[in-house]
Amino acid sequence: MKPDGRVGILISGRGSNMEAIVRAAEERRIPGVVAVVISNLPEAPGLKKAQEHGIETLALEPRSASKSENYDRRIVAALEERRVDLVCLAGYMRILTAVFLKAYGGRILNIHPSLLPAFPGLEVQRKALEYGVRYSGATVHFVDAEVDTGPIVLQAVVPVESDDTPATLAARILAEEHRIYPESVRLFLEGRLQIEGRRVRILPAPG
Ligand code: GRF
């Protein structure tokens, strides 16, 4: 039997997407285990949540907020030591350097709370409301050298209601994030995601 895929999750905050992936692994909805959860902020509430699930956690503090190859070397070393196959960014508020992409390129996923390429970056729900879009949603994508630009794996659409605030829209989107992130991890670990330029082909399930 093929060994379980080993997932490393990087967080900076609440960690609800991390927990959705952890639950999916616990319930065997994905053929993998979460090997480690790493935060750049020691106070990230997600670290405690991961520990409650019995998962190893690391808080690796960078010297500064700006991106750093030295810092990424530490992260990559920690991931490689734990034989991580797939890295999931889940509310991880740092930009990756070439060092990280060289080690794990094509094996890093991110989740973003909009229908990319609309509204990359921060304060996404406020921007969507101000723009007046009728629909928004969530995107899981592979990570490349730019921010929120990599090949798209899965997206989910939600309606924008006329009385939405950034918080109510975020909550509606978050429910979809918790569904499509574990699903994307499953497809990756089943070897069913093939990157072809900007497009990701989803191969049929074997059998
Ligand atoms: C999510 O909305 C995610 O899309 C964005 O940051 C938020 C993280 O939330 N990248 P959580 O830490 O997973 O609860």
Which pTM does this prediction carry? 0.97
Residues of the chain with pLDDT under 50: none
Around Cβ 67, how many Cβ atoms within 10 Å?
15
Residue type at 115 in one-letter notation: L
Cis peptide before 62 (omega within 30 of 0): no
Q: Which fold has domain 5-202?
A: Rossmann fold (3.40.50)
- Cβ contacts of 190-196, under 8 Å, gap ≥ 24: 190/31, 193/153, 195/106, 195/142, 195/151
DSSP code at position 86? E
Which of 9, 17, 109, 178 has most ligand 1 atoms within 8 Å of its beta carbon, as the pocket-test mutant? 17
Closest atom of ligand 1 relative to the 14 alpha carbon:
12
Cα atoms in the Cβ-side hemisphere of radius 13 Å centred on 31: 11
The pLDDT score that the predictor gives to residue 1 is: 55
pLDDT 10s digits, 54-87: 999 999 999 999 999 999 999 999 999 999 999 9
Domain ranges of the chain: 5-202
Closest atom of ligand 1 relative to the 173 alpha carbon:
2
Q: How much is the CA Rg of the chain, to the nearest whole Å?
A: 17
For this structure, is 141 an active site residue?
Answer: no
| Integer angstrom CA distances of residue 186 from 3, 6, 86 | 14, 12, 11
124 lines ligand 1 (CB under 6 A): no
Place of tokens 């927990």: 19
